[in-house]
Amino acid sequence: MNATARADGVAKRFGPKVALGGVDIDLAPGITGLLGPNGAGKTTLLRILATVLPADEGTVELLGLDPGTPDGRLAVRRRLGYLPQEPGFHRSFSAFEFVDYVAILKEWGERGARHDEVRRVLSLVGLESVMGTAIKKLSGGMRRRVAIAQALLGDPDLLILDEPTAGLDPEQRLRFRELLSAVAARSTVLLSTHQTDDVAALCNRVVVLLGGTVHFTGTPPDLAALANGRVWMDAERDPSAQLAWITGEGMVRHIGLPPSGAQLVAPTVEDGYLTLTGATAGVLA
Amino acid sequence: MTTWHAPADALVQFARSPETIDEVTASSVEQHLVACAACRAVVAEATDVAERRRSWAEVVDAIDQPHANLPERLLVRLGMPSDMARVVGATPGLRIAWLATAALLAAAAIATSRDAGSDTAFLVLAPLVPLGAVALTFLPAEEPGGEAAMATPFAGAGLVLRRSVAVLAPTFAILALAGLAQPDLTAGGARWVLPGLALSVGSLALATYVRVTSATTALAVGWVVLVGLVSLQDGRHGPVADTVVFGVVGQLTAAALVLAATGALYLRRDRFSTMEVTW
């Protein structure tokens, strides 16, 4: 694989808590999905790859540069787009003012060109009609799209997105998928999400992080295949299943070790992920 | 439908240089255009599309132009480039609220000094005001770009120092004016300046080791305790301005601390480029 970003043995501690315990990850052009439960270390890893947090151990190489040096970090930041989990934008700014502010920080000095770029990215996320509206008056989904817009400034070569679809409605999520797949044609994208269907729909590769270490790297079909022979449907709940829930058709979908004669079905990425994480939430209704 | 059409040359003139037509003719052409599709087509053909697009873009840009707050406008007037002024002007410490607070603090110190008949309150409080101002520039909730701003080329020591200078300059100016109003401070009225600089630059340097709040609190408490102890020892027989803290030794020590903190800041400037320096 021709990696454009790489982390080798990256570790990070916060006091006694180990957030990352030696993570190896390679990112290639296209979209890599990052899955993991809350507290798995996804946000810490993303912050390290976005150059906003230094690793305690290990090496990081982004776009062929070392972000551990001032010059390398500056060069990476000039080609980077980053959507943090909590954008924390100034709510008295309008959508335009916020993205314009970030554009200035991204060295868009010439006002006319900068404003054109701000309008372009806000249009990309479908916010052209509310550019002048104060962020505090926008819905949660619109605010998320404002945050996505700033990450797209300047067509970055490396785009790091922490839960970009949180708060987006189904139509907005589909539009986001369309947008992101176009961006990924020319960039390397790392997408952290809890939405396994986004991973299945968008990603070339997927990495699963558990307890601060990488537990799976492969394609979405590879992840789904982890649940081969472990997903079955039945009219009744099987208490021995690792997980079971009633589907819209009124059948119970099970994950775990199937009983003999069970009606096996093709697993999804979500099934593979749940199998890997060993989720034992019990029977879900 | 009308059968009369405006003269072609008038339509072309209307399209290309409307400012050269007298008002009556312009109104007449305008009214006619509303009812006549053929003349509208002539105007459309004569219009310089590129010029109209440029004009429209200028109008849109003027509408979208972010609102500049007072500090930002002042910085531009002082010669700072508008984009830099926007970034620096967003500093919370520069906001009117902070400046008003600083002014109130200074006024309170003056009032207290007058009541007590001494310079103690002003000299003790004045160095703490710039210390607080610097701390406020780190307030995470007030960073307009949030965490995303940290991943930009602009983030780092350069931005922190620009914001610190921008917030310290008006703060020192306010305090200097307040110092002039002190009844008991004359030639020694500026003796708070070096301690104020030492505390504010020191807090920046210390923030590369510990949290900003910890650094600020430690220095503020340390300053008050120092002045208190020295006053107890030396100041029983005179005003606090005559103690060693505000004497030659104290001033030289403060100057040395400013230099030492500046050096530490330079050596550890890279820490400001990441989230290692936290509120």
Q: Which residues contact B174 (CB under 8 A, 6 or more apart)?
A: B99, B102, B103, B106, B129
Residue A92 has pLDDT above 70, yes or no: yes
**Hey, which residues 176-205 in chain A have their CB within 8 Å of chain B?**
none
Query: Which residue does chain A place closest to B86, by CA atoms?
Result: A101
List of residues 6+ apart from B243 with CB closer than 8 A: B227, B230, B231, B234, B235, B250
CA atoms within 13 A on the CB side of A29: 8
Q: Is a pLDDT exceeding 90 seen at residue B232?
A: no
d(CA B246, CA A59): 50
Interchain proximity B86–A147, CB inside 8 Å: no
Q: How far is B144 from chain A (nearest CA, A)?
A: 5
* Plot region of A64 (φ>0 → left; ψ -120 to 50 → alpha; else → beta): left
Cβ pair B13, B45 in contact under 8 A:
no
Do residues B227 and B124 touch, judged by C-beta distance below 8 A? yes
At A218 the pLDDT is 97
In tens, the pLDDT along B175-226 reads: 887 777 666 655 567 888 999 999 999 999 999 999 999 999 999 999 999 9
Q: B271: distance to nearest CA of chain A, Å? A: 10
Compute, in degrees rounded to 10, the torsion defined by CA atoms B110, B111, B114, B116: -110
- Residue in the structure block whose two tokens are 């305090």: B175
Q: Is A50 in contact with B66 (Cβ distance < 8 A)?
A: no
Contacts of A132 in chain B (CB under 8 A): 63-64
Provide the strand spans (E) within B116-203. Answer: none
In this predicted structure, what is the pLDDT of residue A282?
Answer: 43
Q: Note the pLDDT tens digit of each residue in B128-185.
A: 989 988 888 876 656 778 889 999 999 888 888 888 888 888 888 888 877 776 666 5
Chain B residue numbers with beta carbons less than 8 Å from the beta carbon of A119 are 60, 64
pLDDT tens per residue, range A41-80: 999 999 999 999 999 999 999 999 999 999 999 999 999 9
Is the pLDDT at B261 greater than 50? The verdict is yes
The rounded distance, in Å, linking the Cα atoms of A205 and B263 is 47
Of A54, A70, A97, the CB nearest to B276: A54
Q: A71 in contact with B at a CB cutoff of 8 Å?
A: no
Tell me the CA distances in angstroms from B55 to A154, B50, B88, B143, one per residue in order. 25, 9, 31, 34
Hey, what amino acid is at B141? A
> What interhelical angle do B23-35 and B8-16 show, nearest 10?
100
Question: Of B254 and B239, which is predicted with more confidence?
Answer: B254
Tell me the per-residue pLDDT of A136-191, one tens digit each, with 9 for 90 and over: 999 999 999 999 999 999 999 999 999 999 888 999 999 999 999 999 999 999 99
For residue A281, name the pLDDT band (cuts at 50, 70, 90).
very low
What pLDDT does residue B276 have?
79
Predicted TM-score of the model (pTM) = 0.83
- The closest alpha carbon to B246, from B257, B235, B236, belongs to B235
**Does the pLDDT at position B22 exceed 80?**
yes
- Determine contact: A144 vs chain B, CB below 8 A: no
Q: Token pair for residue B240?
A: 């606090």
Q: Using one digit for the tens of pLDDT, what is the confidence trace for B104-135?
A: 776 766 676 666 555 677 888 889 989 988 88
> Residue A259: which of A277, A280, A279, A232 has the closest Cα?
A232
Rounded CA-CA distance A211/A114 in Å is 42
A84–B contact, CB cutoff 8 A: yes
Amino acid present at B118: S
Instruction: Give CA torsion, residues A209, A213, A217, A221, to 10 deg.
Output: -40
- Nearest chain B CA: its distance from A132 CA (Å): 7
More confident residue, B50 or B7: B7
C-alpha A84/C-alpha B249 separation (Å) is 49
What is this model's ipTM? 0.89
| Residue B55 pLDDT level (bands cut at 50, 70, 90) | confident
pLDDT in tens, A199-223: 999 999 999 999 999 999 999 999 9
Q: CA dist A133 to A93, A102, A144, B149, Å? A: 8, 17, 14, 21
A94 chain-B contacts, CB cut-off 8 A = 66
Contacts of B213 (CB under 8 A, 6+ apart): B135, B279
pLDDT mean across residues, chain A:
92
When pLDDT is cut at 50, 70 and 90, the band that residue B243 belongs to is confident
Nearest to B185 by CA among B134, B232, B243, B120: B120
Q: Which residue has 């993991």 as its token pair?
A: A36
A73 interface with B at CB cutoff 8 Å: yes
Residue type present at position A72: G
Tokens 């993205």 identify what position?
A99
Per the CB < 8 A criterion, the answer to whether A166 and A144 are in contact is: yes
Please name the amino acid found at residue B48.
Answer: D
